[in-house]
Amino acid sequence: MKLPFFLVDAFTSRPFAGNPAAVVPLEAPLPDGVMQAMAAEHNLSETAFVMREGAGWRLRWFTPKAEVELCGHATLATAFVLARELNQVPPFTFQTLSGPLVVEADGPRFILDFPARLAELATPPAGLAAALGATPREVHRARDWICVMESPEQVAALTPDHAALAALPGAERVIVTAAGGQGVDITSRFFAVKVGVPEDPVTGTAHVQLVPFWSARLGRTSLVCRQASARGGTLWCEWRGDRVRMAGDAVLYAKGEIHLPDAI
């Protein structure tokens, strides 16, 4: 069995930046175990599997260790592949574990419309500051832990102990963030070693939590956001009540074929 394969750098307009995602278009479903094994083989933050379903599309995302319920950069990468490589016409409606997600085209960028997640002040798990290597000014919790640091420079300089983060109870995913940064409104980084992603280069799901949080604090609903990983990436975001819209660029790095045994 041969399957088409695309490697796309998302939330960037140039290769070797942003967040790389594998996109595998399917004509028929694959067993979950095969998709998980393929994601482990690709060893990227996420592999997206997309298949036509009625008038829309079915979309699933796998990290090297687990299926996830929501993923921004691999959704952007999938929309890019459908529009630019497979001649499909946006907008696209994807049926996912998080419900229907719509992606529109806006010139060279794509706009993701995702559910917002609100954060509340929370008591962090013991050992979080030591694992990060710095003490947050505040800690909040939405789906993930949100650690507010003193400055974007402090966010960028962090060298966390990933083994210590993995050992923390109840800390599957950790966001560190601060207001400001060079030419942007907010800066962040994202760590999720428990699901096989020590540091995610650019994370859409982090921003469905960060954008409502910072919009309320900064007093504006439109934010330019920078994820300060080694690769780095930029998102143009807008908070609309129970939704967050995220715009970003993408660029094709590679495409080819996956060869699987016929009996799987």
| pLDDT band at residue 263 under the 50/70/90 scheme | confident
CA pair distance 4, 92, nearest whole angstrom = 20
CATH number, residue 144: 3.10.310.10
| pLDDT band at residue 172 under the 50/70/90 scheme | confident
174 and 89 part of one domain: no
- What's the pLDDT at 169? 86
80 and 174 part of one domain: no
Examine residue 112 and state whether it is found in any structural domain, yes or no. no
Looking at the structure of the chain, the number of domains it has is 2
Examine residue 61 and state whether it is found in any structural domain, yes or no. yes
Examine residue 157 and state whether it is found in any structural domain, yes or no. yes
Examine residue 62 and state whether it is found in any structural domain, yes or no. yes
- What's the pLDDT at 156? 97
User: In 3D, which of 186, 250, 247 has the Cα closest to residue 216?
Assistant: 186
| pLDDT band at residue 128 under the 50/70/90 scheme | very high
Mean pLDDT of 82-87: 98
Mean pLDDT of 197-207: 95
State which residues form the domain around 44.
Answer: 2-107+249-259
11 and 76 part of one domain: yes
The percentage of residues in the chain with a pLDDT greater than 90, rounded to a whole number, is 95
- What's the pLDDT at 7? 98
| pLDDT band at residue 252 under the 50/70/90 scheme | very high
Residues 6+ apart with CB under 8 A from 254: 6, 7
Residues 6+ apart with CB under 8 A from 159: 133
CA pair distance 197, 61, nearest whole angstrom = 13
CA pair distance 198, 194, nearest whole angstrom = 8
Joined tokens for residue 131:
């694992």
- What's the pLDDT at 262? 83
Is there a catalytic annotation at residue 199? no
| pLDDT band at residue 170 under the 50/70/90 scheme | confident
CA pair distance 231, 227, nearest whole angstrom = 9
84: which DSSP letter? Answer: I
Examine residue 114 and state whether it is found in any structural domain, yes or no. no
230 and 129 part of one domain: yes
Mean pLDDT of 108-136: 96
165 and 124 part of one domain: yes
User: Residue 134: pLDDT above 90?
Assistant: yes
62 and 12 part of one domain: yes
213 and 156 part of one domain: yes
- What's the pLDDT at 215? 98
Q: Given the structure tokens 């207001």, which residue do they identify?
A: 179
Count of C-beta atoms within a 10 Å radius of residue 51 = 16
254 and 234 part of one domain: no
CA pair distance 207, 10, nearest whole angstrom = 14
User: Residue 218: pLDDT above 80?
Assistant: yes
Q: How far apart are the first and last CA of the chain?
A: 9
Query: Do 73 and 46 touch, CB atoms closer than 8 A?
Result: yes
89 and 144 part of one domain: no
Mean pLDDT of 195-201: 90
Query: pLDDT of 41-82, one tens digit each?
Result: 999 999 999 999 999 999 999 999 999 999 999 999 999 999
Examine residue 186 and state whether it is found in any structural domain, yes or no. yes
76 and 164 part of one domain: no
| Strand-strand pairing, 120-121 and 138-141 | antiparallel
- What's the pLDDT at 171? 79
- What's the pLDDT at 248? 98
Query: pLDDT of 221-241, one tens digit each?
Result: 999 999 999 999 999 999 999
155 and 209 part of one domain: yes
Count of C-beta atoms within a 10 Å radius of residue 264 = 10
- Determine which one of 27, 41, 46, 104 is catalytic: 46
Which range has the worst mean pLDDT, 1-15, 194-208, 234-248? 194-208
173 and 234 part of one domain: yes
CA pair distance 241, 256, nearest whole angstrom = 40
Mean pLDDT of 83-107: 97
CA pair distance 53, 55, nearest whole angstrom = 6
Examine residue 264 and state whether it is found in any structural domain, yes or no. no
Examine residue 156 and state whether it is found in any structural domain, yes or no. yes
Strands (E), the chain: 2-10, 19-26, 46-53, 56-62, 67-68, 92-96, 99-106, 109-115, 120-121, 138-141, 145-148, 174-179, 186-192, 197-200, 222-227, 233-240, 243-248, 250-259
